[in-house]
Structure 1
């Protein structure tokens, strides 16, 4: 049997063959996307009949059930995986924890790094990048030499991790012509990419289609590029764990960022024929990615509720306003936000050639209510807030 025939028979394209038989522990790191990636991977494993323990930013879960506490339950998860009671342990690696406590070298047989800055210049100059890069180096060294490290080839800063690990690297990219991916495949490596709207896994010898991007509704038909990248990372990790393609497709079709587990991580609701997107974009570069995706998603009109940007410097608040104004439609601000911030947002909105209609409401709750009264079939409503539960309650009230 040839190499190609063996890989076709196993469906792994060299990924699972290179994975160690050590404790099935998977770490996912990055400044954006790691929560979505780890939960999507959990859904893929569950669809394949695997039992999981998961530690994310919202707590520790066993077979999808939230456990009280964190360190104690996680220790029990690792023990259960070691004894075979659970199949896989998934860990979201938070940057502050990794940089302050560190990680033992060579502990993970499999890990992935989603995004650091997405090549955004402002982000690359920020303290967030410095801490994220430090955490990335620690994670890269924490992967076993006989393990696999999945990296985002579209993020040049993430690619640096390939120089910081002794593990085999697997790259994912939005396009098959990504130079780093092409070079990696030509040198005998494996990867995951998008070709003609389909997620493809393979190497230079052979490839196969896994799932159509349009089947992943949480990407808004592929318009949300950062969510497509999270999808690619999850697929790479799932293939390395021998998850069948059918289970991957089943999970992708059903997956939606749950606000209870992924609060403010681009939660999507469909109400009255309209689409509502809830996000807590805290940095201008992440807001820019979100706005770009929404602009490319076909819809009738955009209605935005925004107000919380007090953590940003003044010039970035103005830029946030400019970005929000690019969507046109209606922007509803609320006066619970400090007045100088509202004025800065208005100044930014006014920089657009065709500014949207700007309204002001006394409270965020009233802003939500007004936006929902305006909502019609085919509209897209974007809620930018730091009070996710308040927003979820407001959206849920539409069903009453």
Structure 2
């Protein structure tokens, strides 16, 4: 499938000339789909391709956001069939896949980005159960002459390898991952990291594709799940025959745009400080964020979050404990009808050797203003929010005018 002397769409179009086959890339998984889809889109743009795209924020055709979903996607498919577009990218949501299904042997190439990242609590959840059903369906939807890209670092994802007739190509953070190592030693293809270099191939024919240090959205490689998303997108592009220069250019230019992928580790700069916005709502997704932040080189970390009132007491306390591992200051919101969640959250924060200073503000926007006020050069502000657009608007307004007035003085509540 991988060639570099022809249009990257051609290896997909020619897979079975006796059967209709459109160059559609399917991307599934419980987390990371939007990042992979938009990063792949950026890489394909660097290859000067015309692209159709269906993600959680809608349908796009050559960069234009179309109104609606099913009608516009039909339009994209028509343009693809007529050769007016080179390739289409489709993000597959687990509930839709399990509810509606997918026709077998349809996609020439697909990827499954993640399921639970080997987190035990996630693996016994309804999210994982539905995700496992979806990835089984996706695996069977790839053509026998196609390629299924899988995350070798996620054991639950690797189950899909037994459910597909397609060729399996892996990606992983380390070449010594036993699953990946066995695969490439047997002649299978994979993408992995060698230091900061992204390498593709097998044990006897590896080639350096690009340098992951050029990817600003990984926070210098500290956000492990973003590094995995990068490897997934590179693996798709490499298997499609995209030039190495285009892959490198796409990685350098990509940023998680808040309008296109809100809450997917959007990064904003405020002076010489960094603000990271994410919509993590489960213990395991918070844990992956915290692990990355803990390994980063920021001076101080300020976290803006609610008290996770949708979680049970044990989970709320665990989220507090995790956040307390990296936070110097936590700014949360008072809930007049839910002081219990705040108490559980603070209890978790206190289960650290050095608990953070805690401020409880009247609202999330007040909390963001308080946190931004505290930032110094080389600080990180992590904002965990479901109101990404509103939060970004306020942060940008503060950045434009500078912070000339202080927010209301609120006494810290203690850890």
TM norm structure 1? 0.95
Deviations 1:330-386 (A, max 9, x none): 001111483221111111101111101111111111110011111111100000111
1:95-110 to structure 2, matched below 5 A, reads 95-110=94-109
Q: Structure 2 unaligned segments of length 5 or more: list them.
A: 402-415
TM norm structure 2? 0.92
Q: Tell me how far apart the structure 2 counterparts of residues 244 and 210 of structure 1 sit (CA, whole Å).
A: 9
Q: Tell me how far apart the structure 2 counterparts of residues 123 and 251 of structure 1 sit (CA, whole Å).
A: 32
SS at match of 2:275: strand
Q: Tell me how far apart the structure 1 counterparts of residues 13 and 200 of structure 2 sit (CA, whole Å).
A: 15
Q: Tell me how far apart the structure 1 counterparts of residues 98 and 340 of structure 2 sit (CA, whole Å).
A: 35
Q: Tell me how far apart the structure 1 counterparts of residues 139 and 358 of structure 2 sit (CA, whole Å).
A: 46
Q: Tell me how far apart the structure 2 counterparts of residues 168 and 246 of structure 1 sit (CA, whole Å).
A: 25
Structure 1 partner of 2:291? 292
Q: Tell me how far apart the structure 2 counterparts of residues 226 and 78 of structure 1 sit (CA, whole Å).
A: 31
Structure 1 partner of 2:407? none
Q: Tell me how far apart the structure 2 counterparts of residues 306 and 138 of structure 1 sit (CA, whole Å).
A: 36
Deviations 1:229-263 (A, max 9, x none): 00000001011222111111111111110111111
Kindly state the Cα deviation for residue 311 of structure 1 after the two structures are TM-superposed.
2.1
Q: Tell me how far apart the structure 1 counterparts of residues 246 and 136 of structure 2 sit (CA, whole Å).
A: 32
1:78-117 to structure 2, matched below 5 A, reads 78-117=77-116
Check the 8 A contact 1:33/1:115 in 2, yes or no. yes
Q: 1:52 to 1:7 in 2, by over 3 A?
A: closer
Q: Structure 1 unaligned segments of length 5 or more: list them.
A: 1-5
Kindly state the Cα deviation for residue 8 of structure 1 after the two structures are TM-superposed.
9.2
Matched positions, count = 393
Structure 2 partner of 1:396? 396
1:367 correspondence with 2:362: no
Structure 1 partner of 2:413? none
1:160 correspondence with 2:155: no
SS at match of 1:236: helix
SS at match of 1:324: helix
Q: Tell me how far apart the structure 2 counterparts of residues 60 and 336 of structure 1 sit (CA, whole Å).
A: 37
Check the 8 A contact 1:60/1:73 in 2, yes or no. yes
Q: 1:331 to 1:9 in 2, by over 3 A?
A: closer
Q: Which moved more, 1:245-254 or 1:145-154?
A: 245-254
Check the 8 A contact 1:16/1:239 in 2, yes or no. no
Structure 2 partner of 1:3? none
Q: Tell me how far apart the structure 1 counterparts of residues 280 and 203 of structure 2 sit (CA, whole Å).
A: 38
